Structure 1
Amino acid sequence: MEANQENQQIAVTVSVFLNTSFLILTVAGNFLVLLVLGRACQLRAPVRLLLANLAVPDLVLGGFVLPYVVHTSLNGSTESTNENSRDYSNSEGFCQAVGFIRVLCLAGSSFTLFALSYERYVAIAYPFKHMYLISVETVLKYALVIWILAALVAVLPFLGLGQYRYSPHQFVCWPEGNTFNLVFFFVVFCTTLFTMVFLYLCIFRAVRKRRSIIHALVIRIAQGFTGQKVEKFRATTTISLVLGIYSLTWAPFCFTHVFSIHSSASTPMITTQMLTTCLLYANSACNPWIYCGLNAKFRETFKKTARSCWKWVRVVFSAPTFVDTNRTSVDNPLNIRVVVIKPTNTSQLNTEIRLA
């Protein structure tokens, strides 16, 4: 019994550390993505909208849900798990609101990954039709459908398919009920994963078959993970990274919740669910670096933004400095008035010395 409590306490400590780390990475990464996308004029508007539609739910998840999770995990302990659930019953409405936003953001992020996969498939397989099939109007329609589906999944517990209750191993409200876990597993995870696998396999085949046809036009239109030449398009590495990160972060969470339907709420199962829940948040922290960091145009815009910020910092810290000494002192025996002006261009320095 004591060993189980010690293991659960260790799991709580590890989850607090991981959740805090993912909170910082998620907020910083997705905020930076939104900042750079606002300046990325080289990226086509539909691609920017899709990437922004991915960054927004991840940013909300990291900026609103994860602070609540970290707060509850810091205040909780393994000995008072049931007590914590009773304490949070007083703020049941707020807990349900956080749980609803959590499911909404998770579903919206997952469905957006499917939309990004479809956009890249069209860009590679049909490069000349990309600008017509993936336009601003169609992307806005995709975004509307994505959020409608995500809202339908998140509102199911309010319609009787489960009920939002405080989950001690997730430190936040989660819909209780076997039916909702199965719906979330098949609709949100399995549908997205299978469609992504199918689309990326089609992309891989298209790259191999049309390697000689796909040229610089695809680089400008598709905004894919390319350099100056199509031969540098590492399709295998990219596909493995995208599908691998999504599977490693989502699969443990979904499978443990599905298996918990047929198993008792034992201490090892609760400990496993704590750790797999942390992996689910890792997906939101990795998305900015996978879907934006591997994009050549995004990296170029990011470098320009970083240079602009660095120049702005240099201008602030190299503001004009005036030194005016009007009194006679030991260091200034001749009562010399020195005026030093540092312009914005630090390569030039104008110094004027006047005798009083």
Structure 2
Amino acid sequence: MEKNTDWEKEIYTIYYCYPSVNNSCLLSLQNHILLYIVLWATVIFTVSGNLLVIITISHFKQLHTPTNCLVLSLAVTDLLLGGFVMPPLTVQLVESCWYLGDAFCKLYLSTVIMLCTASVIHLSLISIDRYFAICYPLRYQAKITVSVTVNLILFSWILSAVLGYGIIYLELNLKGIEEFYYQNVKCVGNCVLMQNEVSGLISSLFTFYLPGFTMICIYLKIFSVARRQRNAASRRRERKAAKTLAIVMGVFLLCWSPFFVCNIINPVLNHPAPDILITALAFFGDMNSTFNPLVYGFFYSWFRKALKLIANGKIFQRDSSRTKLYND
């Protein structure tokens, strides 16, 4: 009888995340060096892009406006997503293992929900801000101040934190499915967001469907207003705003739709979706944070000018913060 080849041994050998621990999760040993490179490049781009937005808006005084306060807070949210959420998710996607323990897993999942919620709320607030600025410019200048915007930002962070940490630490996501979770899903080396029907519906409603519906309505309204404008300059301004919102809405829906559709359907069907699929959909949703600097930054000439000043080191010169990036 011929001896088994190394290839055959590899097929029939089962590997675990923690070989010496009972109830350990399975370890994926597939060679995914290219996948690692792509995912880590995405993480680096996400962190770098949002860090540039933060530096630009923080440094240049001309950019200290209510709208840019929202963009700055969004960039902070997306920076945290890129730096805190996406790296562990990258390892999970490639190796299918969680190496950071249960305590950090709870903190991680809570923060994931908080940051994702904060991100989409900020997108909605930016859309609403642009709607009032374009459709009611006089009222906007009188009512929408930096202090009002800061209060909205604080409210969005508080709401996101309450939702994220409340769901996980009170285990609201596991009510009614505890037995199924601990018998069929939970293993050592696993960290996946498991939700019951109610939790999946509520979290999806507030972090995707309502913000998405809001942005669609705002986009349609701005498009309608732009068509009725008579002044040529106003028409150009409205078309540009409508185009930007269309891009924002499209990227948002493209990135998050697969995850949140699964987030509602999976509990209803008694969780047939494998953990790796949920992890992959979550990473794809987080890539909305990768594209946000492109949508809110690289589409504006002032950001491109700021990038040149940063690259040339001119932001370290005296009074560089007063540099005019655009004509008022």
TM-score bin (small chain):
0.7 to 0.9
Matched, 1:116 2:126: yes
Which of residues 48, 73, 76 is equivalent to 1:53?
73
Return closer, same or farther for 1:306/1:211 CA change in 2, 3 Å cut-off: farther
TM-score by length of 1: 0.69
Matched, 1:140 2:146: no
SS at match of 2:193: strand
Tell me, yes or no, if the aligned pair for 1:26 and 1:58 is still in contact at 8 Å.
yes
Deviations 1:125-168 (A, max 9, x none): 01222222221111011011101210121022323412599889
Question: For residue 154 of structure 2, what is the amino acid of its counterpart?
Answer: L
Distance between the aligned counterparts of 1:283 and 1:149, measured in 2? 20
Post-superposition offset of 1:250:
0.6
Tell me, yes or no, if the aligned pair for 1:23 and 1:66 is still in contact at 8 Å.
yes
Post-superposition offset of 1:42:
2.5
Post-superposition offset of 1:22:
2.3
Q: Which residue of 2 aligns with 1:293?
A: 298
- How many positions carry a matched residue from both structures? 282
Return closer, same or farther for 1:257/1:35 CA change in 2, 3 Å cut-off: same
Structure 2: 5+ residue runs without aligned partners?
1-10, 15-26, 318-328
Q: Which residue of 1 aligns with 2:112?
A: 102
Q: Which residue of 1 aligns with 2:252?
A: 246
Q: Which residue of 2 aligns with 1:340?
A: none
Higher relative contact order, chain-length normalized (CA < 8 Å, sep 6+): 2
Distance between the aligned counterparts of 2:159 and 2:61, measured in 1? 30
Return closer, same or farther for 1:256/1:9 CA change in 2, 3 Å cut-off: farther
Matched, 1:205 2:216: no
Distance between the aligned counterparts of 1:310 and 1:61, measured in 2? 27
Deviations 1:244-297 (A, max 9, x none): 100000101101122212335557x54543432221121010011101222233
Distance between the aligned counterparts of 1:67 and 1:194, measured in 2? 30
Post-superposition offset of 1:180:
1.5
Which of residues 254, 260, 269 is equivalent to 1:263?
269
Tell me, yes or no, if the aligned pair for 1:15 and 1:275 is still in contact at 8 Å.
no
Return closer, same or farther for 1:16/1:100 CA change in 2, 3 Å cut-off: farther
SS at match of 1:174: coil
Identity rate of aligned residues, in percent?
Answer: 25
Larger CA Rg, structure 1 vs 2: 1
Tell me, yes or no, if the aligned pair for 1:43 and 1:297 is still in contact at 8 Å.
no
Larger fraction in helix: 2
Which of residues 160, 164, 176 is equivalent to 2:195?
176
TM-score by length of 2: 0.74
Please, which moves more after superposition, 97-106 or 300-309? 300-309
Q: Which residue of 2 aligns with 1:41?
A: 61
